[in-house]
Structure 1
Amino acid sequence: MHIEKDIVVSLHYRLTDDQHQEIENSFGDVPMSYLHGHNTMIPGLEAAVEGKQAGDRLDVTITPENGYGEYIDARKQDVPASAFEGLDPQPGMQFTADTDQGPMPVTVVEVTDEFVTVDGNHPFAGQTLHFEIEIVELRDATPTEIEHGHLHGQGGCGHDHDEGESCCNH
């Protein structure tokens, strides 16, 4: 079996930055699983594993345009501290902000008495990413996973379902 659309891919990865500093590592832990071909993985990584099979190992460099995009300064802004009333925002905390484009995850980067600076860029935006990958297991996706465009059950949406129950209300 080779990786193609509608295949569930389980892989281990080690992610480093341009300075070879480790950012994330799944080796020795549970492999990451995703449904291939449904835009649930960064495009460059999905393209790199296309056609590969279980047991394959590869090193992949992903540029920002094929990863989490370029860093966009306009996604960083100061929000009046009063908007966080009842909360205690701290740098590194993440919130979902209601924007004109819909809900957007933001990260708190600075807090003053008057403003909370939030950043709507992905933490890896603008970065070239280096992956060491080992493809562990492949399987055909279930019809429900294909219909919903994501994994179900263990390693998928985080919980099992009773017969006929859906995790995403489709």
Structure 2
Amino acid sequence: MSVQNGNTIRVHYIGELLDGTRFDSSEGRDPLEFIVGSGMVVPGFDAAVLGMEIGETKSVTISPADAYGEKTDEMTVEIPRGEFGEGFTAEPGEQLMIQLGDGNQIPVTITKIDEDTVTLDANHPLAGKTLVFTITLAEILETNPDA
């Protein structure tokens, strides 16, 4: 039996950048469980598992378009430093959660702080990066009879 859209599966994975820097892994944890084709993982990961069989391992390179998208300037904003209050002591590289007008919160990374402004980047940290995943199919838990 091989993986098809709609299957609930479990995989072990290692995620790396092209230079070999590891950004995530399921090592030492339970396998990642998701429904194939449901959008629970990036599109390139979804596509990579199609047709895999239990116990199979494969390596796949995923372009930014099929991962977290390209990094865009529209996702960077400068906020007056005073809006953070007098005791604001964060440093570039730190992450914050900001609340949007609709009540949702999103993570942002501080990229620059000067006397007057704090620059925040809401791009996903892996936006614009090509990702390399080594994926091992551990289980097919449920098949989709409509697939």
Give me the TM-score of the superposition, normalised by structure 2: 0.82
Kept in 2, the 8 Å contact 1:56–1:134? The answer is yes
User: CA separation in 1, counterparts of 2:10 and 2:83?
Assistant: 41
RMSD: 2.4
Q: Which position in structure 1 is the counterpart of 2:5?
A: 5
Higher relative contact order (CA 8 A, sep 6+): 2
User: CA separation in 2, counterparts of 1:99 and 1:131?
Assistant: 36
Structure with the higher fraction of residues in strand conformation: 2
Equivalent residue of 1:118, what SS?
strand
Give me the TM-score of the superposition, normalised by structure 1: 0.72
Cα gap change, 1:62/1:92 in structure 2, threshold over 3 Å: closer, same or farther? same
User: CA separation in 2, counterparts of 1:25 and 1:79?
Assistant: 34
- 1:80-159 matches, cutoff 5 A: 80-85=80-85, 88-90=89-91, 91-98=93-100, 104-140=106-142
AA aligned opposite 2:53: Q
Listed one character per residue, the Cα deviations across residues 31-55 of structure 1 (whole Å, up to 9, x for unaligned) are 2221222111100110111121221
Kept in 2, the 8 Å contact 1:42–1:68? The answer is yes
Equivalent residue of 2:100, what SS?
strand
Cα gap change, 1:8/1:89 in structure 2, threshold over 3 Å: closer, same or farther? farther
Cα gap change, 1:110/1:128 in structure 2, threshold over 3 Å: closer, same or farther? same
AA aligned opposite 2:132: H
Q: Which position in structure 1 is the counterpart of 2:31?
A: 31
Listed one character per residue, the Cα deviations across residues 123-152 of structure 1 (whole Å, up to 9, x for unaligned) are 11111111111111121179xxxxxxxxxx
User: CA separation in 2, counterparts of 1:104 and 1:141?
Assistant: 34
Unaligned ranges ≥5, structure 2: none
User: CA separation in 2, counterparts of 1:77 and 1:83?
Assistant: 13
Are 1:20 and 2:20 matched, yes or no?
yes
Identity %: 30
Are 1:45 and 2:82 matched, yes or no?
no
Please state how far the C-alpha of 1:113 moved relative to its aligned partner.
Answer: 3.6
Please state how far the C-alpha of 1:4 moved relative to its aligned partner.
Answer: 2.2
User: CA separation in 2, counterparts of 1:59 and 1:7?
Assistant: 20
Kept in 2, the 8 Å contact 1:109–1:119? The answer is yes
